[in-house]
Amino acid sequence: MQNNYQRLLNLKPHNWWALIIVVLTTTFLTIYICNHKLYDRLFLIAVSDGVNLNIDVPLTYSDTLHDGAILKINDKKYDYTIQKISEIKYDEIEKINYQTFTINIAKPSYVNEIIKVCFYYNQEKISQKIIQFIKE
C-alpha cells in the first residue's frame, strides 16, 4: 500500500484543461482587443471667470476642441460651447504656440478657480492603435 506522498508523485496532470483555459483566455482577449474602442486624452488646466473656462491649448491640439471632443471634469462629462478663440500666442518659457479658448459649460464655478480638465478625442479601436504604434 502506497502512502499519500507516493500517490501525489504518481498523479498525472490533465494538460488538456490547461490548454482549454489558455485557448479560451486568448480568444476572449482577442475579441476584446478587436472590438473595444479607446480615446486619446488631452489634460489641460482651465481658469474660470465665474461663467466660462479659459483654457490655453497648444496649437497642435486646437482642432481637437473643434472636432467634438468630450470634456470631463472630475469624472463627469459636460457639453461645452466655444465662446471665443484668441489669436495665436507664443509662450517664451515653454517655447510653444498656443491659443486661449473660452468655453462655456453647465458647471458652476468660482472666479479664478483652477480646474483640471480632460478632453477625450480620436476614438479608435485598440487593434488600430496597436498597429499605429508598431508603424511608428
CATH fold, domain 39-135, is: Elongation Factor Tu (Ef-tu); domain 3 (2.40.30)
Q: Which amino acid is at 115?
A: I
Q: Locate 113 and state its grid cell.
A: 478657480
Q: In tens digits, what is the pLDDT along the chain, a chain of 136 residues?
A: 567 777 767 766 666 677 788 889 999 988 888 888 888 888 988 998 888 889 988 888 888 777 767 888 888 888 888 888 888 888 888 888 988 999 888 877 788 888 899 988 888 888 888 888 888 7
pLDDT at 2: 61
pLDDT at 38: 82
pLDDT at 25: 94
| Contact of 57 with 101, CB cutoff 8 Å | yes
pLDDT at 8: 65
Task: Give 65-81 as a DSSP string.
Answer: HHTTPEEEETTEEE-EE
**Domain range summary for the chain, segments of one domain joined by +:** 4-35, 39-135
pLDDT at 76: 87
- Cβ contacts of 120 within 8 Å, gap of 6 or more: 39, 40, 41, 69, 70, 71, 72
Separation between Cα atoms, residue 18 and residue 23, nearest integer Å: 9
